[in-house]
Amino acid sequence: MKILHLSAVKNWGGGENQIELLCEEFKSDFPEVENLILCVKNGLFHKKLKHTDLNFQTSALSFNFDLRYSLKVVKICKEKRIDLIHIHDPKALSLVVLADEFYNLPLMVFSKKTSFPIKNREQTIYKYNYPKLKRILCVSKKTREIAAEIIKDQNRLKTIYHGISIKKQRQLSAKFKLRKELTLPDDVIIVGNIGNHIPAKDLTVFIETAENILRQQKGLKFHFVQVGQFTPETSTFLKLLKTKNLESHISFLGFKENASVIIPQLDFLMLTSISEGVPNVIYEAFYHKTPVISTNVGGIPEIVTHMENGLLADAKDAEELAELLLFLQENKVLISRFTENGHKKLVENFTTKQMAQQTLQEYKNVLNGRY
């Protein structure tokens, strides 16, 4: 079975990480699946793939409907005799639908990895209901519910949760020592957030939560750390730090290779997102037994159960997030219970092996004309 994975994203994020993890799992445990990734030339995903043993090719992509990418899809499908195309982002979906105008492409599946609504526009509706698009693999039940509003054939919608590679997590070692790099004493409590600087992550609320906690820290010492790729939005956050006089209390570290190695160095992981599919970082925190405090958005409450394996607050509520963090710090007996429950839930439900098995079954169903 020959699968072509399409990514038209120039940056690196959770979605690209999942493509890599899925292909690695197939290569390791399901050798009957032959994978080829097409990514954007000189993008962060391209640079990351250079350091793997995965099979990939690149294409130029200078604007949304760059025909060079579409023509490269056609060329690969012809030369490699691809059986199925797995599309991993909306831009790639547009480009492959365009490519199908030039050449009779194989059947397709699409991974919807966010809980953003699908725009109610004629062109968008058309591509998501494209006849050759036989599956939309949704990262959570919430994502599936949102996609269902615009997908005519509901049988195409399947929920497959992402996961992490237990083997890979065991092999990772941290070259970056957080306390040493930031010169933080052992009694300082480190609260971390991992996510690129995009509106969905709502990092303004992360800053406001830190401000709330530092104002009422009750004799405790806190330091807040944010890890993620800088974007044009970053300057707004840095200005806010300066305005609130928080520059010595919050560190924006930018993009870090294999950021998950930082998670066990955190005392708490905090997510302040206003929209999510299911962020990988929660799975990684579960694995490393780092307590999770998050907003109750997207697919997160399907993974994090309040007062069972983490704590949940409403989106945009910096005061509630601050209260939950202080509550957990003051009730440390709950931390071990939460983290043990999270670790167990991860191992039983959210590994790349399970994700690959379920994805492979959908590939087979599509190629055999089954629902």
Domain boundaries, the chain: 2-163+351-367, 170-349
Nearest to 265 by CA among 173, 171, 166: 173
Whole-number pLDDT of residue 258: 80
Q: In the 8-state DSSP scheme, what is residue 264?
A: G
Q: Quick one: 2-163+351-367 is in which CATH superfamily?
A: Glycogen Phosphorylase B; (3.40.50.2000)
CB 294 within 8 A of CB 312: yes
Q: What is the CA radius of gyration of the chain?
A: 21
Helix (H) or strand (E) holding 268: strand 268-271
What would the DSSP string read from start to end of 299-357? THHHHPPBTTTBEEE-TT-HHHHHHHHHHHHH-THHHHHHHHHHHHHHHHH-BHHHHHH
Whole-number pLDDT of residue 103: 92
CB 155 within 8 A of CB 124: no
For 170-349, give the CATH class: alpha beta
List phi, psi (to 5°) of 227. -120, 125
Q: Do domains 2-163+351-367 and 170-349 have the same CATH topology?
A: yes
CB 135 within 8 A of CB 111: no
Whole-number pLDDT of residue 370: 85
Show the low-confidence residues of the chain (pLDDT under 70).
217-218
Whole-number pLDDT of residue 217: 65
Query: What is the pTM for the complete model shown?
Result: 0.92
